Structure 1
Amino acid sequence: MEQKRTLRVFLAVSLLCALANAYPQYQAVIPNGSSVPNPCNTSQIAQGVGHINFQGTGPLNPFGEDFKAAGKQWTTDLCDMDSDGDGRSNGVELGDPECVWSQGETPARTTDLSHPGFDEATVSC
């Protein structure tokens, strides 16, 4: 229990201290990239979808690693992946369940989004 509390304090301090360093151009390269909810507070937007820190700094989360491996572009393979292992593909989580979205278009779905880099059922906030 103490370890969990320590982790929460660490995450909170990290979030407070982090500068918003997200690269906004990457938000435009994935469907609904500027609308992905922060899994720790769904009333907030995750500024850095590919990072462990939701502000977009520091180490990459599993989606960020997969995005990097895909050449930092939205591909059918990246869309079909389940980066966070929650049973939903990245495309389903980001509103492109058919993997047909192209940059500049409106995704098939713009609501009921979830974070492709964190399994919301198991993330510790």
Structure 2
Amino acid sequence: MRRLACRGIPAWAAVCAAVALLWAGPAAATEFDMALLPVAAPNLCLTCHTVTAPSAGNAPLNLFGVDFLANGRLWDSNLAQLDSDDDGCLNGVEVGDSDGDGNPDGNVTEQAGNPGVADECGSGSLVDEKAWGTLKAMFNGG
């Protein structure tokens, strides 16, 4: 009786390779998606997910993650102007890019809050979110 093989690769090795690729997929997608945001720290994966280390079968999305996915996995002014978690703070302000142009506001190096978790709207020392977006647009020539 002859064993099945995929061009010199045993069938079990091909199955193992396929499983490994599927297992790595969600983590790679999360890193790719984080790179699309102008500021990802300190929330990192928690910006979109409800768990700190998403993996295969364990990557539920929070409200911002659902909106990010519905927006085609794109950070833009449409997503920045939403308040995904309904905490009274626009996503753009919480992420640190109030107008959604892909560039952090001023000296912002960390998210002011988590756009997917209500009641995390930052320290309270933020400039009014709509005024900041207008000021940023004036100085950026837009």
Q: TM-score normalised by the shorter chain: which range applies?
A: 0.5 to 0.7
Higher relative contact order (CA 8 A, sep 6+): 1
**Offset of residue 69 of structure 1:** 0.4
1:119 aligns with 2:118: yes
Residue 26 of structure 1 corresponds to 33
Gaps (5+ residues) in structure 2?
1-25, 121-142
After TM superposition, the structure 1 = structure 2 runs for residues 1-125 of structure 1, keeping only pairs within 5 Å, are 21=27, 23-33=30-40, 35-37=41-43, 46-56=44-54, 57-101=58-102, 105=103, 107-108=104-105, 109-111=108-110, 113-120=112-119
Q: Which has the larger radius of gyration?
A: 2
The match for 1:14 is: none
For residues 58-117 of structure 1, what are the alpha-carbon distances to aligned partners after superposition, in whole Å with 9 as ceiling and x for unaligned?
Answer: 21110010000000010211110000111001000011112222xxx5x11224621110
Give me the CA root mean square deviation.
Answer: 2.3
CA distance in 1, matches of 2:115, 2:81: 11
Count matched residues.
Answer: 90
Q: Which structure carries more helix by proportion?
A: 2
Give distance in 2, aligned partners of 1:118 and 1:89.
12
TM-score calculated relative to the size of structure 1: 0.62
The answer on whether the counterparts of 2:42 and 2:110 sit within 8 Å (CA) in structure 1 is no
Change (3 A) 1:87 1:51: same
